[in-house]
Amino acid sequence: MKRDLSMIGLGLYTPVEAAALTHVEPPKIRRWLCGHVIGDKTYPALWKSQLEKFDMEQLHLSFLDLVQLRVAKAFIEAGLSPQKVRRAIEFGSEIVASDYPFASARFRTDGKTVVLHVLKTDGDEELIDLFSQGQYLMQKVIEPSLKNLEFDEAETAARWWPLGRGKGVVIDPQRQFGQPIDDATGVPTSVLAEAAKAEGSPALAAKRFMVPLASVHRAVAFEQQLAAA
């Protein structure tokens, strides 16, 4: 697909690429972002991708979609239904003044308010008791799903270090359309890993791309981890 230059800074991921990074299956990603129908009941999308305005033929996700996806997954695994997650996003958008409340640093402090508001509206006493424990919400849901994120001055997720900053692999929507890259060189990890395979060794790949050997080793290790997940 030809990439529109106006998408620069947003990130661009297919459902398959997003699935590899977030561990949410592609069909589920499509249901969450596009909605679906079961029998005579229609389930609306949990939220709409900010790339929808580009009128692409198939679903694509932005970097903020990727971040919000991780948090939505954590909430659903903790017991919230997708419908309740959708309402949490709607209410959270008002609280943190962002279309992507789950990708906001403010959600660390305001998340409990958002979740309990939704649960009390539904009267789900069991989950109310569970999520009223702020420590549970932080340790089990919010902190793990926001781990290794960097936020900008507007408190919005700006970069993601999937293995931790010290490992040198970053997902930055301002670089390479948000594909995982070796931070030191800016080369996508997939490119370096594929080069190592094609050339027969990391050393030859490093020579071909004129990058440090450590960059190729990082890329290969990261891509192997993605493939194994």
- Separation between Cα atoms, residue 194 and residue 30, nearest integer Å: 28
Q: What is the reported pLDDT for 123? A: 82
Q: What is the reported pLDDT for 122? A: 82
Question: Per residue in 36-65, pLDDT tens?
Answer: 898 889 999 999 998 987 766 789 999 999
pLDDT surpasses 90 at 8: no
Residue 221 CB partners (closer than 8 Å, separation 6+): none
Taking alpha carbons only, the member of 169, 163, 217, 165 closest to residue 193 is 217
pLDDT surpasses 60 at 220: yes
Q: Determine which helix (DSSP H) or strand (DSSP E) holds 181, and give its type and residue range.
A: strand 181-182
Tell me the one-letter amino acid at 132.
Answer: S
Q: Quick one: average pLDDT of 86-94? A: 96
- Separation between Cα atoms, residue 201 and residue 204, nearest integer Å: 6
Report percent pLDDT > 70 for the chain: 97
pLDDT surpasses 80 at 142: yes
Q: Quick one: average pLDDT of 144-165? A: 95
In this structure, what are the phi and psi dihedrals at residue 58, rounded to the nearest 5 degrees? -125, 160
Q: How far apart are the first and last CA of the chain?
A: 26
Q: Quick one: average pLDDT of 25-45? A: 93
Q: Quick one: average pLDDT of 160-183? A: 96
The model's pTM: 0.91
Q: Quick one: average pLDDT of 77-84? A: 95
Q: What is the reported pLDDT for 163? A: 94
At 118, is the pLDDT very low, low, confident or very high (cuts 50, 70, 90)? very high
Q: What is the reported pLDDT for 164? A: 94
Q: What is the reported pLDDT for 4? A: 57
User: Quick one: tokens of 121?
Assistant: 């509206």
- Separation between Cα atoms, residue 123 and residue 215, nearest integer Å: 52
In this structure, what are the phi and psi dihedrals at residue 159, rounded to the nearest 5 degrees? -150, 155
In this structure, what are the phi and psi dihedrals at residue 143, rounded to the nearest 5 degrees? -60, -45
Calculate the CA dihedral of residues 81, 91, 127, 151 and round it to 10 degrees.
90
Place of tokens 């926001």: 146
Q: What is the reported pLDDT for 29? A: 97
Question: Per residue in 180-210, pLDDT tens?
Answer: 999 999 999 999 999 999 999 999 999 999 9
Q: Determine which helix (DSSP H) or strand (DSSP E) holds 36, and give its type and residue range.
A: strand 36-38
User: Quick one: tokens of 227?
Assistant: 């493939």
Q: What is the reported pLDDT for 53? A: 78
User: Quick one: tokens of 180?
Assistant: 């995982």
